[in-house]
Amino acid sequence: MSDQNLPSWHGTTILSVRKANSVIMIGDGQVTLGDTVIKGGARKVRRLGDGSVIAGFAGATADAFTLFERLEAKLEQYPKQLTRACVELAKDWRTDRYLRRLEAMMLVADKEVSLTLTGQGDVLEPDDGVMAIGSGGNYALAAARALFPQDEVSAEDICTRAMTIASEICVYTNGNFTMEKIDLS
């Protein structure tokens, strides 16, 4: 069987919302191989370094953990400079022969900034504080943006409601969520 015919790890949904006094990152727990659910409770959102950075990944799990380790090393090299650490990681990711083959995307956030990182060298900050990745990312992003302008809806509520909508549409996203929060005040 060629690599093209092998089932691939597929899908996830990670969403982050920065609103008022908090930044929330939430991810589903489903891991699939081809059309089979392998695990329903994976933890794809976690704290990095000293706990001041939250990160979530979509893509191949081993690749994502490699990127988490590299980002933690960059954060040690550039403490309290998440943007700088991410730019340095993106440079390595794009130029290093081993890292270039990694198939994952990441969302990261601290008290100052929220960023999307890709293997193409992108380090992107959202205009509105809302960002999402993964197979259900566009569904979660659209739902979060629709809820965002409502003053009475917190970042946590936006994330939970938007991820629930994504999990009802995307077959690669389940309703078993992991959430991390950073208080901005």
User: How far is it, in rounded angstroms, from Cα 25 to Cα 115?
Assistant: 12
For residue 61, count other CB atoms closer than 10 A to its CB.
Answer: 15
Read off the tokens for 25.
């990152």
Give the catalytic positions in this structure: 12
User: How far is it, in rounded angstroms, from Cα 30 to Cα 40?
Assistant: 4
How far the first Cα of the chain sits from its last, in Å, is 55
Who's near 98: CB < 8 A, 6+ residues apart? none
With b for 16 or more beta-carbon neighbours within 10 A and e for fewer, the 138-176 pattern comes to ebbbbbbbebbeeeeebbeebbbbbbebbbeebebbbee
